[in-house]
Amino acid sequence: MIPTWAQLLYLLGAVAFILALKGLSGPKTARTGNLIGAVAAVLACAIPFFYADLDHVPLILAAIAVGTAGGLYGARTVQMTQMPQMVALFNGVGGGAAALVALLELHEIVELHDRFPGYDVESFTLVATAFTILVGSVSFAGSVVTFAKLQELMTSRPVVFPGLPVLFGGGFVAAVVISVLMVREPMMWGGIALALLGLLVGALLVLPVGGADVPIVISLLNAFTGLTVAAGGYVLSNTLLLVAGTLVGASGTFLTLLMAKAMGRSVANILFGALKGGSTLGAGEASDRPVKSAGPEDVAILLGYADRVIIVPGYGLAVAQAQHTLRELVDVLIARGTQVDYAIHPVAGRMPGHMNVLLAEAQVPYEQLIEMDDINGEFKNTDVVLVVGANDVVNPAAKTTPGAPIYGMPILNADEAKQVVFMKRSMRPGFAGIENELLFEPSTTLLFGDAKESLGKLLNAVKAL
């Protein structure tokens, strides 16, 4: 029985998690929200040591120490470009941990059931246990595959093979059948089989997903993990786990739907579109079509004498770690009297809010970060759009080319500006694997080279005007 004081602290932790989620909804309060959530998590882990009769305390403390060291190391050493795969990995660990805890609880239930034939367990508890084992395993395996795709340990293109739908469907049906049998009669072999089927279904769920869709799948798997934690909270009679898991599950679900809407596609199409050739496909071949290019001095003249400039940041900016140089360039332009804003597409980068975090790291004022819906009407009145490391989020094919992988995805209307400057390493297409016709328009100029190096030269050239 949990004592009253511990229940009150759990309630306080639940309120703190809600406040943390609220804080994370905006860039100005995100740091505070993250800190509140971290303190609540530490509180939740510490409480059981003061009221519960725990076994294997040294092993528990050792595991906490290893996890703390790993978290600190990751937080300090992982680059911004690797943040999505770290999120995927941490999310998978959460789902896997929930599945293992549910398996241990199932083992205890089976032992009691065998020792005391009259021992009865609520059906809903067994349903929650089976759900946690299955969905936690799905989340773990799926997150490992997304990590491998983002870390380029495997191809980012969809992996499809004959019989995949049949194998996926068969595995899912078998998992449902075993879950029903487990609810009727608790059995350890059923839990192990359910975990193995969950690993299979999780891997097959993510393999057909193309590179540009992986961030949305990470969000979906995050929701899965939250739901497993909530179900695990019910199994363990832990209200704090139930509240925290519900928050993560609900927010992850909403985020997944919002990101899918931003891509102009349904979640089902994102997950299974490759089976009929409709998913974003990953990297394609470089184009050899002629384009208009220029050097830093020519681009500096365009920017230096413009009244209105919009910056479109993308994943290439993160790869080059050029956000600080870009901010310096913007500061110089603003000092010259130019109005400059950053246009933020909701799925730019490799995870939700990637560009917001990247630019906040460079201390770009939040007021300069304008969301797509708020800035799209401004492009037609803009003298120069500077695209730094982005591609698909300004590709007009999303509006003009039915059948294109990104067709229907809302984009930034950079093509409506008077002049567009693309900073690119090469003519390789974006993550969707298709050419961007905007690159070949008469109003578009390309500045080739590493973003950080090119921005440095551009900064010096603007200062020299």
154 lies in the same domain as 98: yes
Is 325 a residue whose pLDDT tops 90?
yes
| Residues annotated as catalytic (active site), given as ranges | 392
Q: What is the pLDDT of residue 212?
A: 66
- Residue range of the domain that includes 371: 296-463
Report the alpha-carbon distance of residue 212 to residue 263 in Å, rounded: 10
350 lies in the same domain as 412: yes
Secondary structure letter of residue 285 according to DSSP:
P
Provide the mean pLDDT of the chain.
Answer: 87
Average pLDDT over residues 147-161: 83
267 lies in the same domain as 313: no
429 lies in the same domain as 320: yes
300 lies in the same domain as 271: no
102 lies in the same domain as 154: yes
Is 272 a residue whose pLDDT tops 80?
no
Give, in order, the Cα–Cα distances in Å from 411 to each of 63, 124, 255, 422.
Answer: 45, 45, 18, 16
Please state which of the ranges 178-192, 246-260, 329-343 shows the lowest mean pLDDT.
246-260
Report the alpha-carbon distance of residue 275 to residue 73 in Å, rounded: 39
pLDDT tens-digit profile of 55-86? 889 999 999 999 999 888 888 888 777 777 88
pLDDT tens-digit profile of 176-228? 999 999 988 889 999 999 999 999 999 999 998 876 677 788 889 999 999 99
DSSP per residue, 128-157: HHHHHHHHHHHHHHHHHHHHHHHTTSS-SS
Q: Is 208 exposed, middle or buried (0-12, 13-18, 19+ CB in 10 A)?
A: buried
Report the alpha-carbon distance of residue 248 to residue 10 in Å, rounded: 17
Q: Is 212 exposed, middle or buried (0-12, 13-18, 19+ CB in 10 A)?
A: buried
Are the C-beta atoms of 183 and 123 separated by less than 8 Å? yes
Q: What is the pLDDT of residue 130?
A: 94
Length of the chain: 465
175 lies in the same domain as 224: yes
**Would you say residue 69 lies in a domain?**
yes
47 lies in the same domain as 123: no
pLDDT tens-digit profile of 393-447? 899 988 888 877 777 788 899 999 999 999 988 877 766 667 888 999 999 999 9
261 lies in the same domain as 304: no
Higher pLDDT, 384 or 391: 384
Number of H helices, E strands in the chain: 18, 6
Last residue of a domain, one of 245, 276, 307: 276
Picking from 204, 196, 197, 256, the residue whose alpha carbon sits closest to that of residue 225 is 256
68 lies in the same domain as 199: no
Report the alpha-carbon distance of residue 127 to residue 102 in Å, rounded: 11
SS (H, E, C) 307-369: CEEEEEECHHHHHHCCHHHHHHHHHHHHHCCCEEEEEECCCCCCCCCHHHHHHHHCCCCHHHE
pLDDT tens-digit profile of 15-66? 999 999 899 877 778 889 999 999 999 998 899 999 888 888 999 999 999 9
Percent of the chain predicted with pLDDT > 70:
93
Last residue of a domain, one of 244, 276, 308: 276
Higher pLDDT, 139 or 214: 139
230 lies in the same domain as 363: no
